[in-house]
Structure 1
Amino acid sequence: MQRLIDLLRNKYFLIALAFVIWMLFLDKNDLLSQYQYHQEVAQLEQERDFYKQQNVKVAKDLDELTSNPQKLEKFAREKYLMRKENEDVFVIVKEKAE
């Protein structure tokens, strides 16, 4: 017990304790902020990986469209509802179930 009291009277220990408390809880970069920053970085890395995958997919599609005329025609017909001169295009729209 006497050792604990002597430790609490030591000014270097008190200053170190105050410094640790300040850095862990009261500083701008406390533990909670560091945890939130870590979570945000993890989320941004997931988004980065998703967009990298999308970029690869789009680049592959672009390569196919520029090199294959049949793919280009199929893409134009499906996405932009383009048609040839003597054709009729029927668009079927599914109603949303409420």
Structure 2
Amino acid sequence: MKLKLLRNKKNILPLVLFIFVIWVLFFDANSYLYQREHDNEIKKLEKSIEFYQKEIEKNRKTIDDLSIQKNLNNYAREKYHYKKKEEYLYLIEYDTIN
């Protein structure tokens, strides 16, 4: 009788262990799949943070450059084609198709 119970206990332990591993990997609230999804999302967010930090730095540099009135005038003339009174503006466009 005891021998039979011992055999059953030996057979139950691997089964319980297998069920536990499956539960932890797939069904638990903190499962491996769930953690992997969040790790991927964190990586994407870190990349976007890096991108926006570069954009902020670029914009700060532009603001610093435009804080000088002469540079602001040059920027407005080049980008928005502003001109002073009694001044003619000639736009030269190059053919980019070769």
* TM-score, normalisation: structure 1: 0.69
Q: Is the contact between residue 65 and residue 71 of structure 1 (CA under 8 Å) also seen in structure 2?
A: yes
Change (3 A) 1:19 1:61: same
Shift of 1:31: 2.0
- Tell me the CA shift for residue 87 of structure 1: 1.4
Q: Is the 8 A contact 1:8 1:14 kept in 2?
A: yes
Secondary structure in structure 1 of the residue aligned to 2:83? coil
Alignment map for 1:1-98 (pairs within 5 Å): 6-10=9-13, 14-66=15-67, 68-85=68-85, 86-90=87-91, 92=93
Please, which runs of 5 or more residues in structure 2 have no aligned partner? 1-5
Letter in 1 for 2:79: K
Q: How many residues align?
A: 92
Provide TM-score, normalisation by structure 2. 0.69
RMSD: 2.9
After TM superposition, where is structure 1 displaced by more than 6 Å over at least 4 residues in a row? none
Which structure has the larger Rg? 2
Unpaired segments of 5 or more residues in structure 1?
none
**CA offset at residue 55 of structure 1?**
0.6
Q: Distance in 1 between matches of 2:93 and 2:73?
A: 20
Farther-moved stretch of structure 1 (22-31 vs 71-80): 22-31
